[in-house]
Structure 1
């Protein structure tokens, strides 16, 4: 950034997310008139140690889910702390936000207030530098387009009446460009609608735009996904692999995991055996949160058993927090960490966790949340990190498609310098 352009104002508004719940949009204005805006998502399936999202609790308004307190925190103490700072000093901005909050897990001001301000500052700085956000955050080395992991079948808390497992994803590892990968996935998504209808199921959609296979067992959902890949003209495993998000913490009842559709209750070791069997029968390349977020020893056993050939992703286990990732590395839990900026609350902390993971050979897929907005920051973040993987939902609904369309724009902007991660995104596996 040439010259010294200070932050002149910081202002937040209450807007609505993709589930019809309130969230924040914050706009930062620099002294030269440059602006940057960011809105923040919200999750349904959340880890117990995530940074705290501040809600009003006023049951007479949005059933208590309003965010006027968080808006007030941005317009008051956060604005007062940030005005006058240099927008390109992201570390100082985020350290200031953390200090002003002064609480564990950002529960005083709210992670939603803090992240919206942190991201808006980064957006304003990027514009002042006349750079796209991915290049501003990642520098000249940022050029790798991520493999999209598209949640085309929804279950769990994201879809009433669906399977117990929360997400069934297609992963187009065999494409040569991001644009081609997206086409693979879209064609498979449309083929999946046909497969579901032929099976007598309605093609309704869940929170993330994926279809909801009503009354289907978890394994039958995987089978239908394989059929859809083949129906679209692609080869399972070679062209398109499958990823799962079990969200096991939400299935835990009396120390066992309830697979209601199967009529089964699984211990941690049963779950490991179940996934091992599915890995042998189906082209599953990645599994997220296969056990509860308190079962560190179980994660270690599962990683030892399956981690050579399957990506084991810690989401609720790590909550994008560097401290928990350090513990996971030491205990050999997982071989990947899901990166969700609103779990930890600032741009700097998000980048720190992701870069640590990548430096030790872990995967670091960047992810949306089930309640999302049209903000596309995570698309730029994935390219900035060269992390090679992104989760942004099905190829449907505006808040999901916005991320994929942004990646198409980035691929075009990079031109000949663009590299699609493809199967290399899973190079941390011995035999993907």
Structure 2
């Protein structure tokens, strides 16, 4: 220290003795019920650590509440979902302030993987106990119930001509509605605790949260950071909205690579306001109403109407669609699929088979070259059509899967399998931890696909997702429209990160989209071909 000659001798001494102190450890996690951006109950967690012998409050996180129901779901299902959400919050509060705090107390916040693993084991233990209780309950009920009577045999009557009536034939494909995944009430505790630990560890390390997440994501220290491109909600339509068209649920704006985030946000915000100016003379004040994603919801009967409106707003600002601003479409194929008919209902009364859908998208992409992303264009069961879509358009368009891997744990457990896509959407929800997201991100990139970090419908005014997206080097972020506090805080955090990286000369520019290409397999050479070559 004599040779260093520090300007603050006592400050330098305090740093020296601090380095000799016992490493900080978790003391307790406090949790409370708060509200998300929709006024729904959700969780807030505070992490307290013992630092240099004293208890300190290091981080506070408010998590998003998960909404798995389709927007067009009946009221009865939505009411049941609200009741279940409250049960999950109540159970999570008990988990956090009981067994979870006991399990992670005394562990350093830097041990993210160990903490997430401990929390997961606790939840699995309770899940196993719950399943065992349900099994015993079913056995008791079966013992008390008398066996059902044998059904009477019915004689089949055959028409004289042995023919079915015209129009009575049905599709040979049997389509079953996908059952809701059973989840342990309170499992959402894992997500909020994991985020709180990440923020606390970053604070103790005196680095930014995105830097700490990058260290978790990669074993090598990252010198430069590439900011994700934006996917901003502009228009919403589909089964839950007025109008006949179901093909487009969300129309998203994507800026040209190479611009700063600040420049991109200014352009996208101007387009959002321009659409409002175009809708107001036609629809009045109702034309300015927005949904929970923040996008406008005009009544349209054809998908072209949404695309034309977006392009009109873009060109009105002297910007060129397909050059300055690009378009992404969230098709939400599982929502437009008619279970009774076994076909996609792209518009009221217009039914399409999976192979037909490829031509529907081909027509749109050819007529609107600005389209460079399709989210959930097909159901996950249509594996062959996903492959064909990727082979045909992956050189010019991201084919993004969202619904098939609704949780990152599902992707890690099942892998990619036969379902082909060029990008995967990841969300922090339910029991998904930060460790799970980082591991899923690695798996996605190992399979030559891009990562999209997406928000959920019940977002909270918390900016953690922005740091997560930068930390795992995601290609896109999908946070909704540029309005309302629960979304603006995330965009503002990205701006803050950009300014920080520019001032430190640590930002890496995104020059191109870099489409991950899936090529069709090359035809095998036959004996006849070999003879011709000879």
In structure 2, which of residues 203, 221, 227 is the aligned counterpart of residue 145 of structure 1?
227
Deviation track 1:90-125 (CA, whole Å, cap 9, x = no partner) reads 110111111111149893353421100111111111
Residue 359 of structure 1: CA displacement? Answer: 2.7
Residue of structure 2 equivalent to 1:371? 458
Deviation track 1:193-213 (CA, whole Å, cap 9, x = no partner) reads 122234447121011111111
- Do the aligned residues in 1 keep the contact of 2:188 with 2:430 (CA within 8 Å)? no
Residue 89 of structure 1: CA displacement? Answer: 0.5
Correspondence 1:226-375 to 2 at 5 A: 226-253=311-338, 254=340, 255-260=342-347, 263-282=349-368, 283-321=370-408, 324=411, 329-331=416-418, 333-342=420-429, 345-375=432-462
Q: Distance in 2 between matches of 1:212 and 1:240?
A: 21
In structure 1, which of residues 141, 155, 173 is the aligned counterpart of residue 237 of structure 2?
155
In structure 2, which of residues 251, 257, 261 is the aligned counterpart of residue 168 of structure 1?
251
Residue 60 of structure 1: CA displacement? Answer: 11
Residue of structure 1 equivalent to 2:297? 212
Residue 156 of structure 1: CA displacement? Answer: 3.9
Q: Distance in 1 between matches of 2:406 and 2:85?
A: 22
Residue 422 of structure 1: CA displacement? Answer: 5.2
The alignment status of 1:9 with 2:91, answered yes or no, reads no
The alignment status of 1:382 with 2:469, answered yes or no, reads yes
Deviation track 1:383-429 (CA, whole Å, cap 9, x = no partner) reads 111223100110111111111000000011112322343534x3425
Q: Distance in 1 between matches of 2:374 and 2:430?
A: 19
Residue of structure 2 equivalent to 1:37? 60
Larger gyration radius, structure 1 or structure 2 = 2
Where do 5+ consecutive residues of structure 1 fail to align? 48-56
Q: Distance in 1 between matches of 2:384 and 2:337?
A: 16
The alignment status of 1:28 with 2:47, answered yes or no, reads yes
Aligned length: 418
Q: Distance in 2 between matches of 1:320 and 1:63?
A: 22
Residue of structure 2 equivalent to 1:428? 516
- Do the aligned residues in 1 keep the contact of 2:190 with 2:431 (CA within 8 Å)? no
Residue of structure 1 equivalent to 2:278? 195
The alignment status of 1:70 with 2:153, answered yes or no, reads no
Residue 272 of structure 1: CA displacement? Answer: 1.7
Residue 45 of structure 1: CA displacement? Answer: 4.7
TM-score with structure 1 length normalisation?
0.89
Tell me how large the CA RMSD over aligned residues is: 2.7
Question: Is the partner of 1:364 in helix, strand or coil?
Answer: strand
Cα pair distance change 1:15/1:291, threshold 3 Å: same
Residue 64 of structure 1: CA displacement? Answer: 5.1
- Do the aligned residues in 2 keep the contact of 1:339 with 1:366 (CA within 8 Å)? yes
Q: Distance in 1 between matches of 2:81 and 2:353?
A: 41
TM-score with structure 2 length normalisation?
0.73
